[in-house]
Structure 1
Amino acid sequence: MRCIIWFALALQLTIGPAKATLSNTSLQIAGTANPGDTVKIHVWDHYFGELKQYVLKHREFQHHSEDGSFRFEFRNIKNPVYFTIVFKQGRKVSALEHYLAMPGDSINMNLVNYKSYSFTGRGAEAMLCRYEMDSVGLRANTRADKISRSTVYLTQKDYPGYLRAAYANVDSNVNARLALLEDYRRLIRAEQYAILLADVTCLRTTWKYSSYNYAKAISSAALSPDSAKAIAHELGRYFLNQAIIPSAMPGKVSVISKGYLDAQVSISVAHANLHTVEKEPAAIVKRLKGTLRDRVLCTFILQASSRIESLDSVMKEALKVIKTPYCREPLQFYLENYLRGTTAYNFALQDTSGKIRRLSDFRGKKVVIDFWYTGCLGCIGFYKNALKAVEEKLAHDTTLVFLSIADDEIKKTWMESIKKDIYTSASIINLFTAQSKYTHPAIKKFGIKAFPTLVIVNQKGKILYNDSAPRDVDGLTRIIRSN
């Protein structure tokens, strides 16, 4: 039955009625929130996974609203896009993540007490459908399901049993969303329905992959190395047998749907876990074709970048295969900006005294840069357990310079964090971006996707290391000295 639905949608999207064709290529999103809110919106013409989405090419605007109203308009929208909108005031935050929008949509949304939304205007029905699907999906995660998974199976170290129960919960959640989507089918455009159907259906794969990853992690912590390896292999095979994604997918949907891409990448990562990550790009090329192949290949490499030893070579080989221009751009951006051997971005940032410091000021010395932000628990742990001791250990090495770059927006917050001595030391050179997260060129150019991130630059300004760092003193010291 599912294949019949996909085939019918394929015909509808290919032949489609004239009224489905939109001449308007703008997208407007407006509405009201709370007075004093800062409203930020991100729009992706092309989605390449959540891990590096904010450092890749996308449209981004921010508005501070005194009266709570906001309005964003985007031109030259030729295809469906995904957007994330965030409302923030102090510690109060509310967000809608990766909502589908169509060319010509003019949506008004209203946020009530950071808890609920209402939608009106052209395209509002699809927004409301997605919002209600998220709500009904959450209700599908019953307390009984959670208890059966966490208490019974995990205490008995029955990890396949845990996975079976987790997968049943995923199926219940997805089925609840699909039932609601059917209720909205006649209210939204055929193309919207097809993409939302793909997104929701493919949640089975991505969520089952998350469950598989969790089961693998907890089994590794509780079993001997050999037993953990064996159970991880078993769980991986179980995931691949269970994670079925639609095969009769309309071509246009397969290259737009966020969910379909995430599912294909999840399967590729699971395959890589069963053999080696370096072999998977060739397997993707063999398994898929056309633009879908290009999207999955590009996204897989971006997602698995920290695990690929010869990343530059893998990217260069992929570029020989990838034909879709917008799928080539992210890999070319990586190669040109922050892979090992590329020239590091020459940032200009303010230090604690207000002086502007540039990376070029430290030419002739190896520069170790720690990227963090106030409120980052991982950043506190990294500094406390490793970085602080290494800075003290290597303090007298005149060939080294330690820099700290905080991705903080408010100077007072940053200065107070330095004084706390839990993120960084006042004895090294501390800099900050003075912009909201992930927006400063220094963050984008170095491709910072998570915090903390360690970057090491050599005496000639070339990147030696750019990734998360070991959380132990010996491992961190070894990385700094060996590069």
Structure 2
Amino acid sequence: MKTKKIIDLLCRLGILLAASLMASTARGDRPALTLTVEVEERLAVDSLFVRFRHTTLPQATPEADMLCLKRSGPRTFVYAGRFPQARGQFSLHIRPAAGSIWEDRYAYLPLTPAFYWEAGDSLTLLIQKRQAGKPIGSPMYDYAYTFRGKGAAKYNAWLRVYRTYLQAPTARPAERLTLDYQEMASWSQIRAALDTLQSQRAALDDFHYDLFRADLVGGQSERFARLKSLGETSRDSGWCRDVLARQLMSPLDSLAGAIPGPVAYHSRALIHYQFERLRFEAHLAALGGDPFDLLEAVATRYEGGFRDRLWLNLFLQNTEGRDLVRDYQRVRGQMTDAACQQALREVVVRLPGMPVLDFELPDLAGNRVRLADLRGKVVFLDAWFTGCGACAAYYRQVLKPAKEALKAETDIVFVSLSVDRSEALWRKSVASGTYTSARAVNLYTEGQGLDHTWTRQYRWEGVPKLMVVTREGKIHQLYENGLAEDIRTAEALVRSLQAVKSER
């Protein structure tokens, strides 16, 4: 009921905002973006939400920045808005159907992929189902999109490029076995998408042509994890290091390097690709016993906003094994991009050694529990939701045996934080013993899910997420998942928590 009231309030705010902005349009003060959405009858959409993302600033939790579109007809929705920046991204979302498996897990489901908008766009978007039956949860497979109006050409061009990428066949198995350019199973998809992009060249200005190239290349950043895995399984590390180093000169890297810096600055995907490439270089250097200063490499090879975004990514990724406080001291005076400076200030609160934000949440008995009440103890906090297979596996394989091993410890506390939206579902899952146990301090975000102030502070956009808090109430470490060496097994976790307990 609380969620429905919040969503209804968002709708009213969205309607008031749209009405105000359309009134200003009539006075000649044109909004930065106007969007009319038409949905076919089969979709049965009763409310529609838009989410805007800055191309530079860190992504907020999905529920934190949704706006409800004004309904102007049975299947028509309208939005008009002004923004401090000239361009960004938007995506459309719907509420999960009542009784669906998503209802208690997500407040919103994506109806479209993310699109790049720019000031002055005035669009009409038609959304249709591509096939009968229930959607599978992937917008590009479930729905067809057609844009009309001012600025529509770049949207339709990107849709053709992206759909080509999704539908093109991947490399044949024999090609996947080589360690040359064909080590990427998706290389044939990239080539097909680039061909389509070239066919759309006349419909695009230089900026969007390069931006779409940047996103295509940037989407392949996982190749570096695959290459690193190949190096770890090779018996001849010297030979393998030389072979892997050649992969840094692939066609993808040539394409990535050819994107102009002012355009690359706006591509989250390309920023991530270049950052993972740098980390892979650092890995190769370590294999050979050679030094590699990642911050200095960024400063030497890049400049301006693109350089600052790569530095920022170091903190956003919470790179393990680095002294991020020292890194912060090194780069904060060198950053010149205002948006990156602002983002860095927001990220600093997540760094190890910073005071942890307090919360006050209910436990199973209805008592209000504050994190500050546990000062003087080492706290291991894990966030989960019902249906999260990775959460259940981590609890079964690591947390449960670790809690058993530390059951006599009075100065180490396990806090289990549910981000379920249904209190009844949370209680049922706790009782099942699938995600947590009675030995933990079991808390609930009161139906706010990942939109709770505390989880938003640390930009937890999915689960599992984990945190170790020192006796002094400071962050020892934040973990994006349970794969880090110091917490990936029960034995490692026990050693880590006992080590933190011994720190003075």
**Which bin holds the TM-score, normalised by the shorter protein?**
0.7 to 0.9
TM-score, scaled to structure 1: 0.79
Deviation for aligned residue 1:323? 1.5
Match for 2:152: what amino acid? Answer: A
Distance in 2 (CA, whole Å) between partners of 1:229 and 1:23 is 64
> 2:118 matched to 1:102?
yes
C-alpha distance 479-218 of structure 1, shift in aligned 2 (>3 A): same
Deviation for aligned residue 1:359? 1.0
Deviation for aligned residue 1:284? 0.7
**Identity score, percent:** 21
Deviates more, 1:343-352 or 1:235-244: 235-244
- Counterpart contact for 2:91–2:113, Cα < 8 Å: yes
Match for 2:360: what amino acid? Answer: A
Higher helix share: 1
Match for 1:105: what amino acid? Answer: D
Q: Which one of the candidate residues 273, 279, 282 is aligned to 2:293?
A: 279
Distance in 2 (CA, whole Å) between partners of 1:368 and 1:70 is 45
Q: Which one of the candidate residues 294, 297, 308 is aligned to 1:294?
A: 308
Which residue in 2 is equivalent to 1:126? Answer: 154
Distance in 2 (CA, whole Å) between partners of 1:125 and 1:354 is 55
Q: Secondary structure at the match of 2:309?
A: helix
Alignment of 1:402-441 (within 5 A): 402-435=414-447, 438-441=450-453
Alignment of 1:444-483 (within 5 A): 444-448=456-460, 450-467=462-479, 468-469=481-482, 470-483=487-500
Deviation for aligned residue 1:59? 7.2
Q: Which one of the candidate residues 192, 198, 201 is aligned to 1:179?
A: 198
Match for 2:358: what amino acid? Answer: N
Distance in 1 (CA, whole Å) between partners of 2:498 and 2:458 is 21
Deviates more, 1:31-40 or 1:76-85: 31-40
C-alpha distance 385-403 of structure 1, shift in aligned 2 (>3 A): same
Distance in 2 (CA, whole Å) between partners of 1:261 and 1:53 is 14
Which residue in 1 is equivalent to 2:82? Answer: 75
C-alpha distance 39-47 of structure 1, shift in aligned 2 (>3 A): farther
Which residue in 2 is equivalent to 1:201? Answer: 213
Match for 2:459: what amino acid? Answer: G
Match for 1:99: what amino acid? Answer: F
Which residue in 1 is equivalent to 2:383? Answer: 371
> 2:254 matched to 1:231?
no
TM-score, scaled to structure 2: 0.76
Distance in 2 (CA, whole Å) between partners of 1:306 and 1:229 is 26
Q: Which runs of 5+ in 1 are unaligned?
A: 1-21
- List per-residue Cα deviations over 1:111-156 (Å, max 9, x = no partner): 43452133344433322222222111112225xx243345xx2xxx
C-alpha distance 127-371 of structure 1, shift in aligned 2 (>3 A): same
RMSD of aligned Cα (Å): 3.3
- List per-residue Cα deviations over 1:90-112 (Å, max 9, x = no partner): 34754433310111334343443
- Counterpart contact for 1:31–1:109, Cα < 8 Å: yes
Distance in 2 (CA, whole Å) between partners of 1:138 and 1:273 is 31
- Counterpart contact for 1:26–1:77, Cα < 8 Å: no
- List per-residue Cα deviations over 1:186-230 (Å, max 9, x = no partner): xxxx3xxx3332233234643554234224325634x44xx3575
Distance in 1 (CA, whole Å) between partners of 2:272 and 2:296 is 18
Moved over 6 A (4+): 64-68
C-alpha distance 421-28 of structure 1, shift in aligned 2 (>3 A): farther
C-alpha distance 436-294 of structure 1, shift in aligned 2 (>3 A): same
Deviation for aligned residue 1:238? 1.5
> 2:263 matched to 1:253?
yes
C-alpha distance 218-361 of structure 1, shift in aligned 2 (>3 A): same
- Counterpart contact for 1:366–1:458, Cα < 8 Å: yes
Q: Secondary structure at the match of 1:367?
A: strand
> 2:156 matched to 1:147?
no
Q: Which one of the candidate residues 283, 302, 307 is aligned to 2:320?
A: 307
Deviates more, 1:162-171 or 1:427-436: 162-171
> 2:58 matched to 1:61?
no
C-alpha distance 104-354 of structure 1, shift in aligned 2 (>3 A): farther
